[in-house]
């Protein structure tokens, strides 16, 4: 029963391309197969929630330079038992940026991604089944860098791929640019 929120959101999501469609199928199957899919203790992988945060004029997105992964990424993190992935994205967005005025642009899923997290001390490699929501914030609100980040930056959508050229970020940038201003 606790998986119903995510199952419904996944069923409503329209993938951007064939790659995202494949990942949507993987996440849907994963959620159906594992009752404990929201728990970090599921060592093969778990559901995570991410916040793709854009500014009000939809020209910039907020990125974090992730301390452990040493890459520019969207904000987000572990569900830690919370089956409402929108709440997870909002919580992580606030915790990792200090932004208190975050609001969902839509309650629909914005993007999904499945990616391998490398092994670290005491933790095997595993998959993050990432569910991403489009959030909006005032770009002029002061940011607070959390211990998970080296840096936070509002980056123009047209320049993001210079910092973060992977397919996942490319897809979210394309979707954001299609929104217009």
How far is Cα 9 from Cα 107, in angstroms, rounded to an integer?
9
Query: 175 near 110, Cβ under 8 Å?
Result: yes
Mean per-residue pLDDT, 163-177: 95
d(CA 107, CA 100) in angstroms, rounded, equals 18
| pLDDT of res. 99 | 95
Say how far apart CA 167 and CA 156 lie, in whole Å: 17
Confidence of residue 148 (pLDDT cuts 50, 70, 90): confident
> Is pLDDT at 180 greater than 80 in this prediction?
no
Answer whether residue 181 shows pLDDT above 80.
Answer: no
Task: Classify strands 126-137 and 45-55 as parallel, antiparallel or unpaired.
Answer: parallel
DSSP lists the bridge partners of residue 51 as 75, 133
Segment 31-40 shows an average pLDDT of 97
Q: Which CATH architecture has domain 4-179?
A: Alpha-Beta Complex (3.90)
Q: Running DSSP on this structure, what letter comes out for residue 52?
A: E
Helices (H), the chain: 4-12, 18-33, 85-97, 160-163, 167-179
Under the banding of pLDDT at 50, 70 and 90, the label for residue 121 is confident
Looking at residue 1, its pLDDT comes to: 62
Q: Backbone phi, then psi, for 17, in 5-degree steps?
A: -155, 180
62 CB-side CA count, 13 A: 33
Please report the pLDDT score of residue 38 as a whole number.
Answer: 98
| Cβ–Cβ < 8 Å for 116, 63 | no
Q: Please, which pLDDT band fits residue 100 given cuts at 50, 70 and 90?
A: confident
pLDDT (mean) for 9-22: 98
Q: How confident is the model at residue 41 (pLDDT cuts 50, 70, 90)?
A: very high
In this prediction the pTM is 0.96
Q: What is the pLDDT of residues 72-85, one digit of tens each?
A: 999 999 999 999 99
Each domain of the chain, given as residue ranges in start order, spans 4-179
- Mean pLDDT, the chain, rounded, equals 95
Query: 34 vs 100, which has greater pLDDT?
Result: 34
Q: Over range 115-124, report the average pLDDT.
A: 91
């Amino acid at each position: 029963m606790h998986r119903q929120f995510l199952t419904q959101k996944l069923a409503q999501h329209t993938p951007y391309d064939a790659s995202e469609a494949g990942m949507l199928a993987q996440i849907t199957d994963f959620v159906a197969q594992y009752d404990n899919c929201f728990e970090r203790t599921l060592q093969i992988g778990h559901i995570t929630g991410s916040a793709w945060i854009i500014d009000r004029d939809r020209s910039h997105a907020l990125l974090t330079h992730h301390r452990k992964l040493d890459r520019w990424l969207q904000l987000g993190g572990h569900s830690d038992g919370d089956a409402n992935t929108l709440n997870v994205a909002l919580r992580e967005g606030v915790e990792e940026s200090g932004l208190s005025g975050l609001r969902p642009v839509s309650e629909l899923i914005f993007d999904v991604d499945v990616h391998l997290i490398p092994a670290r001390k005491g933790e095997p490699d595993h998959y993050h089944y990432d569910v991403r929501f489009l959030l909006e914030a005032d770009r002029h609100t002061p940011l607070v860098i959390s211990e998970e980040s080296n840096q936070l930056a509002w980056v123009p959508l047209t320049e993001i791929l210079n910092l973060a050229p992977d397919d996942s970020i490319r897809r979210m940038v394309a979707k954001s640019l299609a929104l217009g201003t």
